[in-house]
Every structure is written in C-alpha cells, then in structure tokens.
Amino acid sequence: MASAPQLPQVCVVYLLRTDERGIRQVLLGRKKLGLGQGKFVAPGGKLEPGETPTDAAVREVAEESGVLVAPEDLQVRGSLDYHFPHREAWSQRSHVFVCEKWRGIPRESNELNPEWVDLSAVPYAEMWDDARFWLPAVLAGGEVRRDFTFGEDLASVVDATLSAHRPNR
C-alpha cells in the first residue's frame, strides 16, 4: 500500500503576554497578502528547505512582527493537518507554538499588522474556521493534534477529527 504524500510544512506562533492591567493577551494581526488574506492570524509561514519547524518559527516571527524569539523559548503545542480536497495546493501541516519571552516591540510588516488582543476577545469569526475548534485550548495551556478538511468554499470546516500523526520537532 502506498503511503500518503507528505504535506507541505508550515508553522504558527502565538505570542502571549500579561498587559499592565493584568489581562492575558495574544499577538494577532490581519493577513495582508497570500493565503488567508484579510483574516486574523498569528505570525507564521512556510518552512524553507532544510529548516526545522522551530527554525522557521524563529524566522517567521522576526519577519512578520519584528520580534526576536529564542528557539528555547518556543513551546511546542502540537500540529494540525489541513486538507483542501477542492484545492490540494492549500493542504498543509501546521506546527503550533506558543511563546511568552521575546525581545522587541511588534511592528507592521508587509505580511501582517500585529496587535495585542485580550484572550477574552479573540476574533474567531474573523479567523480561519478551524481556530474555534482548537485555539482556545492552546491559549489556555493545552496541546492539539487535529485533522481538518475544508469544504468547496475553501473556508468552512466540513470534518474535524483527532489526528494520529506525530509532529516533527
């Protein structure tokens, strides 16, 4: 039996902080170009040839937000497999990280205009549809291993299952 083709690899990093009011916040921003344009997302992107998910996470956070994170400060929180049967080129495996230590102040880039959002006000309705299934648990300290299949509209989750895959570290 032939094995399934390996999905392209991407990463996403949720920077968390407690603000001066004592409120927990996450860094999100509207995606300016490419896949997911107009949606609220966290910094992240494709792994380059030879990169590990951790290497890509460090690079993508710097490129998209101007913030510097150390590899040892990234907390692996799991992985997500995204399947787009109506547009296979969009299918991918996303490695999920959380980080609570960094250097610098988030700034706008050509990809993202980052802003701090209270955890109680995360705009799930303006994010990819899958986020509502798993992101609240990850932001609360949990882990995730899920498979999501998106429908013909390329925006709505039509199947969400626990995943049997193991994330690359």
pLDDT tens column, 30-39: 999 988 899 9
> Does 56 reside within a domain?
yes
Contact at 8 Å (CB) between 149 and 76? no
Q: What is the mean pLDDT of residues 45-57?
A: 97
> Does 125 reside within a domain?
yes
Number of domains present in the structure of the chain: 1
Beta strands 74-83 and 24-31: pairing type? unpaired
**N-to-C CA span, the chain:** 27
Q: What is the mean pLDDT of residues 113-118?
A: 97
> Does 25 reside within a domain?
yes
The whole-model pTM stands at: 0.91
Give the structural domain span for 53.
9-78+94-140
> Does 55 reside within a domain?
yes
Cβ atoms within 10 Å, residue 136: 13
pLDDT at 132: 95
| pLDDT tens per residue, range 144-159 | 999 999 999 988 899 8
Average pLDDT, the chain: 92
> Does 63 reside within a domain?
yes
Residue 110 has pLDDT above 60, yes or no: yes
Beta strands in the chain (DSSP E): 9-18, 24-31, 40-41, 44-46, 74-83, 92-99, 112-118, 144-150, 157-162
Q: How confident is the model at residue 112 (pLDDT cuts 50, 70, 90)?
A: very high
Determine what percent of the chain is predicted with pLDDT higher than 90: 85
> Does 89 reside within a domain?
no
CATH number, domain of 62, equals: 3.90.79.10
Backbone angles phi, psi at 89, to 5 degrees: -60, -20
> Does 148 reside within a domain?
no
> Does 124 reside within a domain?
yes
pLDDT at 34: 86
